[in-house]
Structure 1
Amino acid sequence: MSVFNSSRLQDKTVLVTGASVGIGAATAILFAKAGSNVILAARRKEQLEAVKEQCIAAHKQSGVQAGGKFATVKLDVSDKKQIDSLLDNIPEDLKKIDILVNNAGFVLGVERVGEISDDDVEAMFSVNVFGLIKLTQLLVKDFKARKTGHIINLGSVAGREPYAGGSIYCATKHAVKAFSGALLREVVDTPIRVTEIQPGMVETEFSVTRFRGDKTAADKVYEGLQPLVAEDIAEEIVWAASRPPHVNIAEVFVLPVNQASPTINYRGAK
């Protein structure tokens, strides 16, 4: 708990998308430890309920008296109607959201331009870009009215530097970076904070999804080095959220010590 000032997060209500696994799940649990109320949103309801139980346990173990309210919402951020009705599905005492963590996102395949299916292009943009923007637009209106709020978007090293075999994913994360930067400028006359977290290699289900369930291929991505894990990124997210109200961490670019870019790394360390 020494990595952030948890007292600033007590009784804050946090909405985390993609909270059923990986970075989203780890982030929800860490906010729970800090005494926040957490709304866990994702497509997989059963897994969400399991993470919710971990949040409850983490909150009890922390001994923090504040917060401790948790709710799960089945949400596919690529479905506009589901986002439109999101607030109707959140318990009344959690509707005043303080922090939005736009974590939902994924990558499919390593095909090169000319070989990428339209369905894969649409799927990645629908979740990584369109869903993030629509959910942000839904909540930023309330943030402005209440003169509070923090939007934390999950970007990527892929949003800083493109690489072969990742054209569509890189394009989506460049869009997230541009959107986050524009939003930061648009709310400069408000107390609303905007943060983009840009991880490098993080070993989660991410690569398994990219390789369409081929875990052997996914494991090779991290061979020979120690990648980041979900909890590493969760710490950065919660740390950024725990800064004093007048402090905005606009960007956090975090890599494993043996990675310097999407294609430059050292694989003799493990």
Structure 2
Amino acid sequence: MSETLDGRTAVVTGASSGIGAESARALADAGATVVLAARSEDAIEEVAADIRETTEADAVAVPTDVTEEAAVEALVDEAVETFGGLDVLVNNAGVARGSDVEEMTTEEYRTMMAVNADGMFFATRAALPHLRETGGTLVFVGSFAGKFPRPFNPVYAATKFWTRGFAQSVSAQVGGDVGVTVINPSEVRTKFGDGWSMEELYDEGEVTEPEEVAEAVVFAAECSPSMVSELDLYRRDKFEDMF
């Protein structure tokens, strides 16, 4: 079963580019009012203006550092006060700094944990009371890296294991009131919030595109009263050499 997103309000973190920006556009195309959050004010203002020009939906930009709990609370409060409620939270903000554990600096480690774990906790905590009121949906953008051990960037992978565990446990706690979905794409041709990009590593169509993840976000948001607990988006040859 599905419901229209007309009249619904969605907050998207990490909305300055890539998956976050495309998710905001897709939600707006589906009828939702969107609140875009990221550290880069210019970037989210540009995306919000494009949404207002190309869709019939309203879109506002709220500069937010998800590692600052007061800023996240202010983001959710502004969305609720401006539009009368909150129906969807897309927990997307994330970074992927460093790689090898032996070479990773403490600063890189703490930054990744702060954005990828703390940021999702702060946003979820602030949004849950409002999502309970509306019977809304909480969407986490996870990763293939959060399901299978891998040698590349173990700390990033660990944060995505954390995302899945947190999302599923939150669902167990609030599932009677709030739908909770975690979306796990494999490689995505997108930019990360720290400037690192996978666009140069893959040709168009070779791996998952941000627009495909955005379609999954809308699909999860439209499911009601059922929900999608976990949705994997893998390129077709992903498992060929794994087993």
Give the TM-score taking structure 1 as reference length.
0.82
Match of 2:112 in 1: 124
Q: Contact between 2:95 and 2:194, CA under 8 Å: does it hold in 1? A: no
Q: Deviations over 1:112-137 (max 9, x none)?
A: 22221110111011011111011101
Aligned to 2:210: 230
- The reply on whether 1:135 has 2:123 as its aligned counterpart is yes
- In the alignment, structure 1 residue 103 sits paired with structure 2 residue 92: yes
Q: Do the aligned partners of 1:12 and 1:98 also contact (CA within 8 Å) in 2?
A: yes
Q: Distance in 2 between matches of 1:100 and 1:59?
A: 20
Report the residue type matching 1:100 in the other structure: L
Question: SS where residue 9 of structure 1 aligns?
Answer: coil
Displacement of 1:88: 4.5
CA positional deviation for 1:187? 1.4
1:258 equivalent among 233, 237, 242: 237
Q: CA deviation at 1:95?
A: 4.6
Inter-partner Cα distance in structure 2 for 1:240 and 1:116: 35
Instruction: Give the match for residue 171 of structure 1.
Output: 158
Counterpart of 2:26 in structure 1: which amino acid? L
5+ long unaligned stretches in structure 1: 61-67, 266-270
Which residue in the other structure is 2:200 paired with? 219
- The letter for the 2-side match of 1:260 is F
Structure 2 alignment gaps of length 5 or more? none
**Matched AA of 2:151:** A
The 3 A distance-change label for structure 1 pair 197 and 167 is same
In 1, are the aligned partners of 2:26 and 2:214 still within 8 Å (CA)?
yes
Contact persistence 1:18–1:104 (CA under 8 A): yes
SS at match of 1:41: strand
Offset, 1:260: 2.5
Aligned equivalent of 1:83, options 59, 72, 77: 72
State the TM-score, normalizing by the size of structure 2: 0.91
Counterparts of 1:92 and 1:224, CA distance in 2: 40
Larger Rg belongs to: 1
Equivalences, count: 243
Percent identity of paired positions between Structure 1 and Structure 2 = 29
Task: List aligned pairs for 1:44-55, cutoff 5 A.
Answer: 44-55=40-51
Question: Residue 193 of structure 1 is aligned with which of 179, 184, 187?
Answer: 179
**In structure 2, distance between residues paired with 1:168 and 1:114:** 11
Query: Cα gap change, 1:168/1:154 in structure 2, threshold over 3 Å: closer, same or farther?
Result: same
Contact 2:96 2:194 in 1 (8 A): no
The answer to whether the Cα contact below 8 Å between 1:199 and 1:254 also exists between their aligned partners in 2 is: yes
CA distance in structure 2 between the aligned counterparts of 1:33 and 1:157, rounded to whole angstroms: 27
Report the Cα offset of residue 264 of structure 1.
4.8
Corresponding position of 1:23: 19
Please, what is the CA RMSD of the aligned residues?
A: 2.5
| Cα displacement (A) at 1:143 | 2.4
Contact 2:5 2:30 in 1 (8 A): yes
Residue identity opposite 2:237 in structure 1: N
Amino acid at match of 1:76: D
